[in-house]
Amino acid sequence: MIFLKQAHIGKSNLWRWFTVVFIMLSLLSINKEIKDYFSQLIYDFASLFPTTSGLIQVESINILYILFFTLLIYIFHKRSLKSFIVFGKFNFIHLFLALFWASFIYSLLMSTEILINPSAYEFHFQPKGFLELFFVGIICISLKTVFHQVFFNGYLLQLSSLLCKNRWCMILIATLITILFKLYFYHQTPLFNIHYVIFIIFFALFYNILTLLTQGLEVIMGVYFSQHFLATILISENWFDVTTNALFISVPNRNISSNLDIFLNYYLPMLFGIVQLFVIIKVFHINNWQKRIINND
């Protein structure tokens, strides 16, 4: 698989890979302290967009992560960011096709959530605030998409390909690193529970499998962006740190530990994720999909 074989480009000593992973995970682990250090700068910029200032304060830090990661891979590997995204030219057709289908599927998912449990949501459309959220959301979620997918999928999968030849082993190594970091990062949040752990494991596997199937990051960037962008503009959850002028807002004092909410927030997205996987296999004509995730390199 050409995308994985790019791991041998440039300087590919294992110590270089592990050093970059260690530095990036260390940087991410002090995310709050970094935000505090740049708090005044972030606040001044976010104040220009008052209705989306919370979203900007949370996601704008991804600019720093992208720049720092780009610098690290140049110093340690003499490689560009693009080489961890795709082999050859970036396929915008794949990106936008994935955006279209993923948006359609996730719109169905969120509509299903609202239809099944309508008492949990209130219509909250405010034209000016929603328009600002829409355009600011495109920028913020794009930055989040680039960093998360290039590091957690592109970089970690290429590292895994140097550690073993079995592709399931590659998937499991990259997934394990992602899971351990996210469990550390989110374990103190109010939503942390066994269902959330299962949710993290599923989507870490989902994105790594999708990367191998499509042999690049264009498709998963489209899927990841649509998932998080629609979640931002369609439903604002009351228990999150950031509430937005989305189309719907969850009702105050909602019981998020009820069986119905657990199913809607964790397990229904996983079911739709499986549907999404097979839709992508069909749309992108991936006829040998079993071999792409089972065969050894």
Q: What is the DSSP string of 43-79?
A: HHHHTTSGGGHHHHHHHTTHHHHHHHHHHHHHHHH--
* pLDDT for the residue numbered 128: 86
* pLDDT for the residue numbered 70: 96
* pLDDT for the residue numbered 202: 92
Q: Using the structure block, give the residue that is written with the tokens 């009351």.
A: 238
* pLDDT for the residue numbered 53: 78
- In terms of Cα–Cα distance, which of 143, 179, 181, 146 is closest to 55? 143
pLDDT under 50 in the chain at which residues? none
Identify whether the C-beta of residue 247 lies closer than 8 Å to the C-beta of residue 130: yes
Overall domain count for the chain = 1
**209-235 pLDDT tens trace:** 988 888 889 999 999 999 889 988 888
* pLDDT for the residue numbered 17: 95
pTM of the model: 0.89
* pLDDT for the residue numbered 219: 92
Quick check: helix, strand or coil at residue 295?
coil
The residues, ordered by sequence, that sit 6+ positions from 4 with a Cβ below 8 Å of its Cβ are 157, 158, 161, 170, 212, 297
- In terms of Cα–Cα distance, which of 137, 142, 277 is closest to 221? 142
* pLDDT for the residue numbered 190: 59
Domain that holds residue 243: 2-294
Phi-psi region of 253 (alpha: psi -120 to 50; beta: other; left: phi over 0): left
Strand pairing partners for 249? 122, 236
In sequence order, what E strands does the chain have? 121-123, 235-236, 248-250
